[in-house]
Amino acid sequence: MRKLIDVEDNKRMRPAKGKTGESMKHESAAKQVAGTAVYVDDMPELPNTLHVAVGGSQYAHAFIKSMDLSAVEKAPGVVKIITVKDVPGHTDIGPVFPGDPVLVESECEYIGQPIFAIAAETHEQAKAAVGLAQIQYKELEPTLTVDKAMKDQFFVRPTHSHQRGDADKALSDSEHVISADFYVKGQEHFYLEGQISTVVPTEDGGMDVFTSSQHPTEVQKLVAEVLDISINKVNVEVRRMGGGFGGKETQAAPLACIASLLAHHTKRPVKYRMSRGDDMIMTGKRHAFQNDYKVGFNEQGLIQGAVINVAGQCGNSPDLSDAIVDRAMFHSDNAYYLNNATITGYRCKTHTVSATAYRGFGGPQGVITAELMMDDIARHLGEDPLTIRKRNLYGVKHDSMRLEDGSIDPRNETHYGQTVEQEVLPELISQLEESSEYWKRREEIKQFNANSAFLKKGLALTPVKFGISFTVQFLNQAGALVHVYTDGSIQVNHGGTEMGQGLYVKVAQVVANEFQVDLDTIQVTATRTDKVSNTSPTAASSGSDLNGMAARDACLRIKAGMIKYAAELHGTSEDKIRFESNHVVAVKADGEEVWTPFAEFTQNAYMARVPLFSSGHYQTPKIHYDRNTGKGRPFYYFANGASVSEVIVDTLTGEYKVTRVDILQDVGASLNPAIDIGQIEGAYIQGMGWLTTEDLVWSDNGRLLSNGPATYKIPAVGDTPIDFRVKLMEQLPNKEETIYRSKAVGEPPFMLGISAWSALRDAVSSMAEYKFSPPMNAPATPECVLNAVNETRKHIANS
Amino acid sequence: MITFFLNGQEVSEHNIQPDMTVLRYLRTRQSLTGTKEGCGSGDCGACSVLAGEMHNGEWHYRAINSCITFLAQIDGKSLITVEALANGSELHPAQQAMVDKHGSQCGFCTPGIIMSLTALFENTPSDKTFTLHEIYDALSGNLCRCTGYKPIIDAAKSMKSYPGKVKAEIWTPSSTSPSNKGETSNEEGQSWSARTESELKEILAHHPDARIVAGATDLALEVTQMNRRINKLVAINQIDSLKTISEDANYITIGGAASLTDCEKVLEAHFPEFAQLLERFAARQVRNNGTMGGNIANASPIGDAPPVLIALNADIEIAGANGNRWIPLDTFYLDYKKTLLQTGEYIRAIRIPRREACEHLKVYKISKRIEDDISAVLLAIKVKVQGGQITAVRTGFGGMAAIPKAGAAIEAALINQPMTVETFRKAGEKASEDFQPFSDVRATAGYRIQVTQGLLEKAALEILNPESVSRVEQIFTTTLSAKDVVNTYDPQENNNA
C-alpha cells in the first residue's frame, strides 16, 4: 500500500492557534477582499442556462379577469412561460400556514405578487419580455393600514394575550397613569446580495439547488412539494449569502421553487436573480407595528401595572407572523418588571407584501414600546429617564414593593412566567453609565442646550434583554458532520448557514478547541442538505449555540473512538489520554507521556480501523412554553446589553447626527471577540437605521414608492458615530451550559439602536425643559423630528 | 472599435450592444465576477471599479460605478477590477487592512469598498494620513449593511502603514492611440466615443437621434432600472474642449462635460459653499463620472447644480449644428423635464460671474441621509449686504417646483431690507407664495415649506454669526460646546439679558 501521506511532524508542538475565545478572522475574509469568494450569481453558468423574470400584480387587491401572455411568448429569447396551472405539486408554499401561492391563480393580494414566470435566454430578455403581459383585473377594496385592519378585525392569525396579575386593578390603584400610542414602520433588509437561486435538473428527476437562503431544508422541502417529488431527490447548497438578516429565512424559497418549475418544464438549468427593485417590491420586510400602552406607577416611577397592545402589520399572509407578534409580546417588557400586565398581540392583515423575519423578529417593536414608556414616565415625573429605567429593572428589589405575604417582591418574573435567573443588567448598566460618563455628559448637555439657539443635544441610555431560543420548540435542534482525514486535516459541516455573521469560523474554532489543533487545519464546507438533513433555519441568533454544540457533539464522538484506541495502544486508561498542542498525549501507567502529532495519530488510528468521522446532534434543554396559557420558559437564557447614544439635532430643519455611542454587551464567554464586536457594531447601526433614515413609503393604493436605494436610505459611512465604543462585558460566562458558556449575539444588539431614537426625542424634549415627551413615531426622519419640534413648540405655547 | 486596458491588458471591442454597461461586460464577457451588482442604480457601490485616464503622460485613477457606466465611455481608459490588485496571496494594502480590521462580514459590498479604498490609497502621497472627512468622502458611495462601517473606517486609517503597492504593472499600461470615433455596433445599434467636437457634430448630423451621454449617472438608469434600450449612444466624456475649466476677469467657465470631481478645485477657490455642497450632491463615484452639464441638461426638478447656478446668475452655452449661443440658465427650463435644448444640441459650457465683494452665498441641501441622497429641498441664496442693508439678492430652489427656479416673492421681501433674522423670517412667510411643492417619497409639501423657512432663518444666522457651527453635516467632533454655536436667535436678547 502506498504511504498515506507525508505528515508534518513536531512543528506544531505548541498550543493550538485559533481556538475559541480568540479573535480569529472571518473564514472568507481574504477571499472577499480579493473578489474570489463565490456567491450564487458568480458561479460559472452551465451552457443553456435560462434566466427568469416574474410578472406581478399591478393592484393591491384584485381578481384577475383575463390574462393574455401572447406578446410575452413572442418576445425575443423567451423559452417558457408558466402560470399556476403548470405546477405539478403543491401550489401554496406558505412556510408554516397556507397563504402564499407560488403563483397567483385569481385573487391578487399585493402589488408585485407573482402571477406568471418566464424563462429566457438572457436576464435582460426576460426582464424586457415580462412587461408585455396584458392582464385585466377586477379591482377590489384593499386594506392598507393597521388602523383599517383593526377596525375590520381583519387578521391573518388569531389574537393572543399574555397575562400576569390584574393589570386593570393595578392601573386603577396607581398614583399615576399615563398612556400613549406609537407607530413604527417596517424595514427593508437590504442585504447587498439580492435574492437568487440557480437550479440544475438531475438525472433522477430531481433538482440541485444553489441558493442564497438561511433555510436550505425548507427550500428543499418546498421545491420537492411544488414538483411533486420526494424530498430525497432535491439537494440544496448554500455556501454563503451576501447578507440575510432574516430576509432569506422564508423569502428565498419562492425563487428556488419558480426556478425549479421552469427547469422541470424546460429540462435546462435555470437562474432566477431578482433585480433590486423586484426584490424590494416582491419580498417581505420587517413588520410595521401600531402599539399602545397604558401604564400605572407610583411616585418613584415604579410600574404597578401595564396594559400593552401590539398590532403587527403582517401583510397578505401569515408567513412567520404568528411567532413574530409573539416575540413582540414577549419583549414588550424589555428589561423591566411590569408586575401586573396584560399584553395583547394582533396580527393584522393588509394587502401589502407579507411581512417576514428580520433581525429581532418582532422583539425590537416590543422593546421600543417599553422604552417609549420609560421616557414618558420619567418626563411625567421630572426625573432623568436613566433613573426610572434602573429602578424598574428586573431583579432590582425595593423595600416598599412587597408581596401579599409581606415579603420583598423579587421582581424577577416576566409576564409570561419565566424567571429572569441571571440578572446581568443592573451591573452592566452601572459599568456603562460610569465608562460613558453619563451623568457628567448629562449636565454638559443641559448647559449646551440652554445656550444654543437651534442646535440641541440629546442623550439616552437604553438596555436590551433578549430571549434566546426559537419560541417554536422543535426548531431548537441542530446537526453536524465532522470528518478527520489521514493527514490530520479536518472538515466540518453543519446545518447553519453563513451570511456574514461568522458562524463558520466560530464552529471551526469549536472543532479546533475540541481537538486542540490549529484552526488552519480545519475546513468548513458549504451547507448542504445531503450532508446534514432536517436543519433549522439559521435564525433567532441561534446559529453558534445550536451548530457549535452539534459540531462539538460530533467531535466528542470521534474523540471517544480515538481515546479508546490510544488507551489500548499505550496500555493505559482512557482518562489518561488528552488532546494538547496539536498532539494526542497518552500518559502511560508509569507516568511517561507519549506525544503523537495529531496527523500521525490519525494515520495510525485509521490503520487500526478507528472511525474518524461522525455526525453530531444537539437539542436545547429546559425550554417549554404553553401557548394556551401563555406561560412557560420559552427562552433558554437572555442576552443583555445597553447603549448610550448622544445626538445633535437641528431644530430648524429636523436634521441630526449621532455623535457618540458607548455600548456594553453581554455575550457570555465570547467564542470570538472580534466577530462578536463586529456583530454588535453592525447591529447597532442597522437598528439606528431602522429608527432614523430608513423610511418605507407606500402610495395610497399600496405601491411601494421607496423601492430602491435612491429612495430608501440605509445608513452610509458618515452616519457612523464619530466616537463609537463597543465593549464586551467581561468575566460573565453564561449561567446555562451553552457552547463554552457563550451567548448569542446576532439579534440582541440590534435593539441597542433604540438609544439613538430615544436620544433624538431627548434633544427635542430639552426645548421644553424635559417636561414634555414629544410624540415621535419611527423612523425619526428629519421631517419626523421637525414635527416633534413643532409639537413641542405647541406644548410650550399652550402651557 | 473601442480600445481600453483591463487590468493592464489591452482589449478591443467592436461588436458590442450599444447600451452594454461595464458591469455586465465584466461579469458576462470577461468572467470577472469579483465586481458585484448590488443595486444596478449607482447607489450602493458594490460594482465600483477604477477607471484611469491619461493626463500629461500619467494615469490617474478614480472609482466609478460600473453598473451605470456604458462601455462606450471607457474607450481609451484603463480599468482596474478587484481581481487584479493582489499578487497571489500578497494583498494590496487596502485589502490587507480590511482583513486585519475585520472589515468584511457577508463580503458582498467588500470588492467595491476595496476599490474605493484603493483609489484613496493610490491618490494620496505616501506620507499623508487620512482625515475622517477624507475617509467619509472616499467611501460615501459604498453601502455596507453588515459592519456599521467602523472596521472599514479603521482599515482606511491603517492602510498607509502597510508596505506599498503590489503589482505595479497594472497601473501603468502604455497608452493607446484613439481609434476613429470609438464606434461599436451590433444588430441592435451603434455607439460612439467622440474625441472632438467636430467628430461629435458629424455623428449628430448623421444620427440626430443618438443619445448624448457624458457621465451616464442618470441616463444609464433607463437601461438598468426601466429595462429600456438605447440603440444609439454617443459618449462625449473624452472630448477635451468640453472638459476645460478656465477663469478670466469676469467669469469662471466650466466645460459641459467636466466631471463634478473636476469642478471641485475651482469651486473651492471661488464658491466654497458650492464646493461644500458637492459632498452631499452625490457620492464620490457618481461625482467622478457625473458632469455639471449633464446635471443641467437632465432638467430634473431635484438636480442640485441648477438652483445654485441660478442663484449665481450663471449662463450656459448651447452648441449644435446651428452654431453656439449663450443663454441665462434661468431661462433654460420651460416645464417639467422640458428645456430649450433642441435635438442634436448639447451644453458646451457653463459660466458663472465672479463673486463681488460683500456677497454672501449660502447653499443648503435637505435630505433624509447626509451622504448620497436626493434633495427634498435645495436652497441657494446670494445676498449682497452693504451698510447692514440687503442691496442685492438672488435665490434658487430645487425640489420645490416642477423646475429649478428662483423665489421671486422671497427675493422681493429681502431686497432693501435690513440684514436681520427678522427680515429673513418674514421672507420665509412668502415661501408658499412662490412655491406649491408636492408631497412625495422624500418629503411632504408642508415639510418642504417649513424647512425653506427654517433655512432662510439659518442663512441669516450664519451671515450674522460667520464663525459658528450651524450644520450637523459639518460636525466631526464630539466636543462641540456652546461657544462654537449660535447662542441666540436675536443678538438683542443677549444684551437685554
User: Which of A436, A646, A717 to mutate to test binding with chain B, by most B CBs within 10 Å of its CB?
Assistant: A717
Q: Which residues of B touch A720 (CB under 8 A)?
A: 148-150, 153
Residues B48 and B177 in one domain: yes
A201 pLDDT above the threshold of 70? yes
CATH 3.30.365.10 fits A7-37+477-619, yes or no: yes
Look at residue B385 and tell me if it is in a domain.
Answer: yes
Q: Which residues of A touch B102 (CB under 8 A)?
A: 23, 25-26, 29, 674-675, 677-678
Q: What pLDDT, in 10s, does the model give residues A743-761? A: 999 999 999 999 999 999 9
Give the start-to-end residue ranges of the domains of chain A. 7-37+477-619, 47-141+189-282, 288-470+627-798
Residues B371 and B442 in one domain: yes
- Å between B141 CA and nearest CA of chain A: 8
| Strand partners of residue B9 | B6
Q: Which residue of A has its CA nearest to B99?
A: A29
What is the count of residue pairs from A and B with beta carbons less than 8 Å apart? 294
Q: Which residues of B touch A652 (CB under 8 A)?
A: 451, 454-455, 457-458
Cβ <8 Å between B370 and A657: yes
- Residue A556: closest CA among A484, A604, A605: A484
Residues B31 and B151 in one domain: no
User: Which of B17, B106, B121 to mutate to test binding with chain A, by most A CBs within 10 Å of its CB?
Assistant: B106
* A730 is an active site residue: no
Alpha-helical (H) ranges within A75-115 are none
Q: List the CATH number of the domain containing B126.
A: 1.10.150.120
Residues B15 and B142 in one domain: no
Look at residue B310 and tell me if it is in a domain.
Answer: no
| Strand partners of residue B79 | B6, B51
Q: List the CATH number of the domain containing B446.
A: 3.30.390.50
Q: List the CATH number of the domain containing B73.
A: 3.10.20.30
Cα–Cα dist A387/A430, whole Å: 11
Residues B178 and B227 in one domain: yes
Cβ <8 Å between B471 and A650: yes
CATH 3.60.40.10 fits A47-141+189-282, yes or no: no
Alpha-helical (H) ranges within A503-589 are 503-515, 543-570
Look at residue B406 and tell me if it is in a domain.
Answer: yes
Q: What pLDDT, in 10s, does the model give residues B38-93? A: 999 999 999 999 999 998 889 999 999 999 999 999 999 999 999 999 998 899 99
Cβ <8 Å between B473 and A655: yes
Look at residue B335 and tell me if it is in a domain.
Answer: no
Q: Which residues of A touch B111 (CB under 8 A)?
A: 32-33, 35
Cβ <8 Å between B34 and A502: no
Boundaries of domain holding B480 = 470-497
Give percent helix, percent strand, percent coil of chain A, each to the nearest 5. Answer: 35, 25, 40
Look at residue B386 and tell me if it is in a domain.
Answer: yes
Q: Write the residue in B105, B364, B443 that is nearest to A783 by C-beta.
A: B443
- Å between B323 CA and nearest CA of chain A: 38
Residues B75 and B187 in one domain: yes
Q: What pLDDT, in 10s, does the model give residues A452-483? A: 999 999 999 999 999 999 999 999 999 999 99
pLDDT the model gives residue B88 = 86
Q: Which of these three, B119, B151, B170, is where a domain ends?
A: B170
Cβ <8 Å between A35 and B39: no
Cβ <8 Å between B149 and A127: no
Beta strand A522-524 with A490-494 is: parallel
Look at residue B405 and tell me if it is in a domain.
Answer: yes
Look at residue B315 and tell me if it is in a domain.
Answer: no
Residues B203 and B213 in one domain: yes
Q: Which residues of B touch A678 (CB under 8 A)?
A: 102, 105, 146-147, 151
Place of cell 375590520: A152
Mean pLDDT across A621-633: 96
pLDDT the model gives residue B177 = 63
Cα–Cα dist B326/B328, whole Å: 7
Residues B91 and B148 in one domain: yes
Number of structural domains found in chain B? 4
Cβ <8 Å between B82 and A34: yes
- Å between B405 CA and nearest CA of chain A: 21
pLDDT the model gives residue B167 = 79
Beta strand A288-297 with A176-184 is: antiparallel
Q: Write the residue in A681, A686, A717 that is nearest to B142 by C-beta.
A: A717
User: What confidence category does residue B497 fall into, taking pLDDT thresholds of 50, 70 and 90?
Assistant: very low
Looking at every residue in chain B, the average pLDDT score rounds to 94
Looking at every residue in chain A, the average pLDDT score rounds to 97
- Residue B298: closest CA among B313, B286, B311: B286
Mean pLDDT across A517-534: 98
Q: What pLDDT, in 10s, does the model give residues A339-366? A: 999 999 999 999 999 999 999 999 999 9
- Residue A674: closest CA among A27, A15, A19, A21: A21
Look at residue B215 and tell me if it is in a domain.
Answer: yes
Alpha carbon A104 to chain centroid distance?
Answer: 29
Residues B27 and B155 in one domain: no
Cα–Cα dist B43/A713, whole Å: 10
Q: How far is CA A765 from CA A313, A461, A756, B476, in A?
A: 29, 15, 14, 24
Task: State ipTM.
Answer: 0.97
Mean pLDDT across A540-558: 97
CA atoms within 13 A on the CB side of B92: 31
pTM of the model: 0.97
Active-site position among A747, A769, A783, A791:
A747
Q: Which residues of B touch A445 (CB under 8 A)?
A: none
Q: What pLDDT, in 10s, does the model give residues B231-269? A: 999 999 999 999 999 999 999 999 999 999 999 999 999
DSSP 8-state code for residue A100:
-
User: What confidence category does residue B494 fall into, taking pLDDT thresholds of 50, 70 and 90?
Assistant: very low
Which SS3 state, helix, strand or coil, does residue A594 take? strand
Residues B453 and B394 in one domain: yes
Q: How far is CA A22 from CA A16, A211, A520, in A?
A: 11, 31, 13
CB A749 within 8 A of CB A664: no
Q: Give the class (CATH, top level) of A288-470+627-798.
A: alpha beta
Q: Which of these three, B206, B235, B264, is where a domain ends?
A: B235
Residues B104 and B166 in one domain: yes
pLDDT the model gives residue B98 = 98
- Å between A484 CA and nearest CA of chain B: 27
Cβ <8 Å between B368 and A650: no
> What is the three-state SS of chain B?
CEEEEECCEEEEECCCCCCCEHHHHHHHHCCCCCCCCCCCCCCCCCCEEEEEEEECCEEEEEEEEHHHCEHHHHCCCEEECHHHCCECCECCHHHHHHHHCCCCCCCCCHHHHHHHHHHHHHCCCCCCCCCHHHHHHHHCCCCCCCCCCHHHHHHHHHHHHCCCCCCHHHHCCCCCCCCHHHCEEECCEEEEECCCHHHHHHHHHHCCCCEEECCCCCCHHHHHCCCCCCCEEEECCCCHHHCCEEECCCEEEEECCCEHHHHHHHHHHHCHHHHHHHHHHCCHHHHHHCEHHHHHHCCCCCCCHHHHHHHCCCEEEEECCCCCEEEEHHHCEEECCEECCCCCCEEEEEEEECCCCCEEEEEEEECCCCCCCCCCEEEEEEEEEECCEEEEEEEEEECCCCCCECCHHHHHHHCCCECCHHHHHHHHCCHHHHCCCCCCCCCCHHHHHHHHHHHHHHHHHHHHCCCCECCHHHCCCCCCCHHHECCCCCHHHHHHC
- Å between B327 CA and nearest CA of chain A: 32
A8 pLDDT above the threshold of 70? no
B179 pLDDT above the threshold of 70? no
- Å between B216 CA and nearest CA of chain A: 16
Q: Which residues of A touch B442 (CB under 8 A)?
A: 711
Q: Which residue of A has its CA nearest to B446?
A: A783
User: What confidence category does residue B380 fall into, taking pLDDT thresholds of 50, 70 and 90?
Assistant: very high
Mean pLDDT across A110-123: 98
Residues B196 and B69 in one domain: yes
Q: What pLDDT, in 10s, does the model give residues B406-463? A: 999 999 999 999 999 999 999 999 999 999 999 999 999 999 999 999 999 999 999 9
A741 pLDDT above the threshold of 90? yes
